[in-house]
A and B are shown apart, each in its own frame.
Chain A
Amino acid sequence: MIVETGHYALVLALALALAQFAIPFIGARLNDAALMRVARPAAITQFLLVALSYGALTYAHVVSDFSLVNVIENSHSLKPFIYKISGVWGNHEGSMLLWVLVLSLCGALIAIFSHAMPDRLRSDALAVQGLLGAAFLLFILLTSNPFARVAPAPWEGRDLNPILQDPGLAIHPPLLYLGYVGFSIVFSFAAAALIGGRIDAGWARVIRPWTLFAWIALTLGIAMGSYWAYYTLGWGGFWFWDPVENASLMPWIAGTALVHSAAVMEKREALKVWTIFLAILAFSLSLLGTFLVRSGVLTSVHAFASDPDRGVFILTILVFFIGGALALFALRAGALPVGGLFAPISREGALVLNNLLLSACCATVVVGTLYPLALEAITGEKISVGAPFFNTVLIPIALPLALLMPIGQMLSWKRGDLVAALQRLRVAFFVGVFAAAGFGAWYGTPFLSIAAGGIAIYLVVGGLSDLAIRARGRAGHPSFKRLAGLPLSAFGTSIAHAGMGLTLLGLAATGWGVESIVAMKPLSFYDVGPYQIGIESVSPRQGPNYSEVYAVMAVRKDGATLATIEPAKRFYQARRMSRSEAGIVTLGLGQVYAAIGESHEDGTIDARLYWKPLVTLIWIGALVMAFGGALSLADRRLRIGVARRAAAPALEPAE
């Protein structure tokens, strides 16, 4: 009964989504306030209905209702409770339902936090959001119904894929979807602005918090996913340039560009057309990612062609929304008023360059991801585009971009002084060079790591020295009061840039990692970087729905045991699959990482042992970036709902 209620709620949500599209849209055209007012309650109710439906599916998973195909295929009565909840989105149908849940949540958020914007803008944005919701609800109901029943119900389910039975799954997809789908808000506002033909700094002020919100969630989601891959796949990698990963990276890059261009638009009314375009692009790339991941096209073009229902449906949605938005853009963008002017050497100019380089990165990732698919579809020829390609072509764009980041921060708006900006960065520059020399002396080659490490330190110091300089002011001596008086968004920028520097340092340090693949004898120690690792014991252990063998390994330095780690090899009975669980200990900013493998008759056990210096900075940097974004989001000027007051700045006293 609960399951049927959930199913019914989903159908109702579809009907309501259509109403949420049609009624306010017509209302906005007729300038009928009563019709436009339908949008907000419709959006909120649609969210409640989808949430009810989602709750029903979660209930079915929690009570192991094996009359549902979805539960049979992805659950097991012995599965731990948390994975019964997170397992809801660990499969195609459930994850699409989560997608729509987040989409309708975004609609509800617009409805709740939009007091301070013109009625027509809100109505049109919610109408677009309603149309998006309707398309994806239809997709779920027609091709991916999670509520399909089966009779007779089996006694036991087939369990969730072991790789997904991890706390990582509990956090990673919801965050990622908040990011992915969060860009739908910006997309809807861009479409609404184009439909209404009005766009100004007020519009930028409306979208900037949403852009930041989606960007923060996506940043955390990608970082979380990468750490999950790192500790669960057992060979210490954290990014593989897999199309599925690229699918999340593309909107992130576009979103990063958007955060910056929206800042220009809000401050200076410049880059309007470009900002609108990026707003469309960011969500379009999210849709593209959804298509790539959900259609099965990645496994093989042929697998896609043999079971094309889902793929073709998403492709239709994709073409309709991206094509529609771009057509609208082509029709209307020319009519948008020209924004503020600026000299090439200025904060705006630097942000244009930033956008140019980011766009090139984004285009490269898009082409690299789609090229093999297109080539196979056109010529039948199969090629692989993997990590070596992406590293080769992206590093020459990304490193100059990193070099430019602090310079842009130092330039003033409208017309900047490059020499003065570089002078302000001399401390950062020298610290960076010294750091590179230090890295070279301490860790040695590869040269790329040394250079990237130096640039990373320059980025951290450069990002923070902007704060120091602004705290010093004209008077020349630093003042804590001045520092405290700086707007939060200034802290946000500096901290986010420093976070990028930390991540870059972590990435650079991968070149200094030490790997040792050995057949370990019991009770003897093996050198890994500055540490020695030895097996103390190997024992079996029974988990709730798996059995495992784990090794207790001691990590020593100079004879003293610093830590013990427990890499394990788990075997999941229901799916008869094994997976490794890495043993990791964080020492300073680096990690010792161990994974065990095959065992031999002579009593040895194969193991991969790593010392990864500074590796945690990759994810710490992402957290710092997200924190910087959150600070900007907390800035009073950008806080959702204060736009009305900000609309009359002349009456406000200076802060």
Chain B
Amino acid sequence: MSRVSTVETGSRNPLPEGEGGRRRRPGEGRLTQRISRPIVIAQAAEGHNGKGATPHPTRLRRATLSPWERGRALILFIALIFPLAAHAVTPGEMLADPALEARARAIAAELRCLVCQNQSIDDSDASLAKDLRVLVREKLKEGMSDAQVREYIHARYGDFVLLRPPMKPDTLLLWSAPLIALLAGAAAVWIAVRRRSGLAAASPAALTAEERARLDGLGVARFDDCESQE
């Protein structure tokens, strides 16, 4: 990676479309100021082998920077070349109270990120998802119950935001689908059995215990043993 391209990558903001809502817009002025250190690192990496491919981490550690400087510089370097790098839940937005945070996570896992394809806001990198996560935490801090928070979000974003669809006339069929399938299947089995019950009556009756004993006495293998030997 050349020095020029590093600078270009950092300053070509805002980024084009098509990043699944992961756009961030770091201030360009601040970025150019930050460049000084990272480029030292980039050059150090290049010095290792001419093409700039795969610098060895141990080599990097031998650079003249202190560990702290090195870490800081490298991480700024990441910020430069990965302007898109975002994350689902980030440490910064988490609540200090673990119990409250756990509740927030549980709520977030059941809310859909509206601009993503089938992701919960807890899993999504999109900025809208982050806004919603922060909103959920704010409301929890205000003392709302889990149900109140869900209702608050539901009222503003509609049914689409709930990954667990609400029970209402429109979704009755959806929620009862497993039960309907089970009942329909059971009914089908029952009808099939009834239709054949006449035939079944003609089949030989089960052995009585006495007959069973006599059969065992004769040393005749049981049916299921024959099965296992086929």
Contacts and interface: CB of A to CB of B under 8 A. Distances in A.
Interface of A: 235, 237, 240-243, 298-299, 338, 341, 343-344, 352, 356-357, 359-361, 363-364, 367-368, 371, 375, 379, 381-389, 392-394, 396-397, 412-415, 470, 473-474, 485-487, 490, 517-519, 522-523, 537-542, 547, 549, 552, 569, 571, 575-578, 595, 597-601, 603-606, 608, 637, 654-655
Contacts of A552: 57
A518 B85 CA distance: 16
B19 A576 contact: yes
Contacts of A389: 163-165, 174
B170 A381 contact: yes
A363 B186 CA distance: 14
Interface residues of B, number: 85
Given A522-B68, A538-B74, A540-B1, 19 more contacts: A240-B118, A356-B186, A359-B185, A360-B181, A361-B178, A379-B170, A381-B170, A383-B160, A383-B171, A388-B164, A412-B224, A470-B228, A474-B225, A490-B228, A518-B91, A537-B61, A539-B57, A578-B82, A598-B87
B82 A571 contact: yes
B82 A542 contact: no
A398 to B, nearest CB: 11
A569 B78 contact: yes
Given A344-B193, A517-B89, A599 B79 contact: yes
Contact of B170 (A235, A383, A599): A383
B228 A605 contact: no
Contact of B189 (A240, A356, A364, A637): A356
A571 B86 CA distance: 12
A243 B117 CA distance: 10
A299 B117 CA distance: 7
Contacts of B229: 485, 654-655
Contact of B110 (A298, A388, A518, A599): A388
Nearest to B75: A599
B7 interface: no
Given A384-B162, A474-B221, A538-B71, A598 B178 contact: no
B57 A368 contact: no
B117 A242 contact: yes
B177 interface: yes
Given A381-B159, A539-B60, A392 B164 contact: yes
Given A383-B170, A386-B112, A577-B84, A519 B92 contact: yes
Nearest to A233: B123
Nearest to A340: B203
B75 A538 contact: yes
A359 B175 CA distance: 16
A604 B82 CA distance: 15
B76 interface: yes
B182 interface: yes
Nearest to A603: B72
A492 B46 CA distance: 56
Given A242-B118, A412-B224, A235 B88 contact: yes
A605 B78 contact: yes
Given A381-B159, A383-B159, A384-B112, A597 B90 contact: yes
B16 interface: yes
Contact of B199 (A341, A359, A381, A637): A341
Given A352-B189, A381-B170, A384-B160, A569 B57 contact: no
A382 B117 contact: no
Contacts of B18: 575, 577
Interface in B63-99: 67-68, 71-72, 74-79, 81-82, 84-92, 94
A601 B30 CA distance: 11
Contacts of B76: 599, 601
B163 A540 contact: no
Nearest to B160: A382
10 contacts: A299-B117, A341-B199, A389-B164, A413-B227, A474-B221, A523-B71, A540-B77, A540-B81, A547-B81, A603-B71
Contacts of A357: 182
Nearest to A575: B18
Contact of A386 (B81, B164, B173): B164
A385 B84 contact: no
A614 to B, nearest CB: 21
Specify the main secondary structure of chain A where it touches its partner.
mixed
A475 B165 CA distance: 57
B161 interface: yes
Contacts of A237: 123
B208 interface: no
A537 B227 contact: no
Contacts of A364: 177-178, 181
A360 B206 CA distance: 32
Give the one of B77, B91, B162, B171 with max A CB within 10 A: B91
A576 B90 contact: no
B10 to A, nearest CB: 12
Contacts of A241: 118
Interface of B: 1, 9, 15-16, 18-19, 22, 41-42, 45, 51-55, 57, 60-61, 67-68, 71-72, 74-79, 81-82, 84-92, 94, 109-110, 112, 117-120, 123, 158-166, 170-171, 173-175, 177-178, 180-182, 185-186, 189, 193, 196, 199-200, 203, 206, 221-225, 227-230
A538 B178 CA distance: 50
B41 A540 contact: yes
B174 A371 contact: yes
Contacts of B68: 522, 603
Contacts of A537: 57, 60-61, 74
A341 B77 contact: no
Q: Chain B CB within 10 Å — which of A352, A386, A389 has the most? A: A386
Contacts of B120: 386-387
A534 B41 CA distance: 22
A542 B54 contact: yes
Contacts of B160: 382-384
Given A384-B159, A598-B86, A338 B199 contact: yes
Nearest to B158: A382
Contact of A569 (B61, B82, B110, B185): B82
A250 to B, nearest CB: 13
B90 A606 contact: yes
Contact of A397 (B91, B163, B178): B178
Contact of A341 (B55, B79, B203): B203
Contacts of B175: 393
- In this complex, the member of B54, B86, B185, B199 whose beta carbon has the largest number of chain A beta carbons within 10 angstroms is B185
A607 to B, nearest CB: 8
A272 B119 CA distance: 42
B182 A360 contact: yes
A598 B90 contact: yes
A360 B185 contact: yes
A571 B9 CA distance: 11
B21 to A, nearest CB: 12
A363 B178 contact: yes
A487 B228 CA distance: 7
A523 B75 CA distance: 14
B55 A539 contact: yes
A35 to B, nearest CB: 39
A552 B78 CA distance: 14
A598 B85 contact: yes
A379 B15 CA distance: 37
A608 B87 contact: yes
Contacts of A371: 171, 173-174, 177
The 8 closest A-B pairs by CB, nearest first: A386-B163, A597-B87, A412-B224, A363-B181, A388-B164, A522-B71, A367-B177, A599-B75
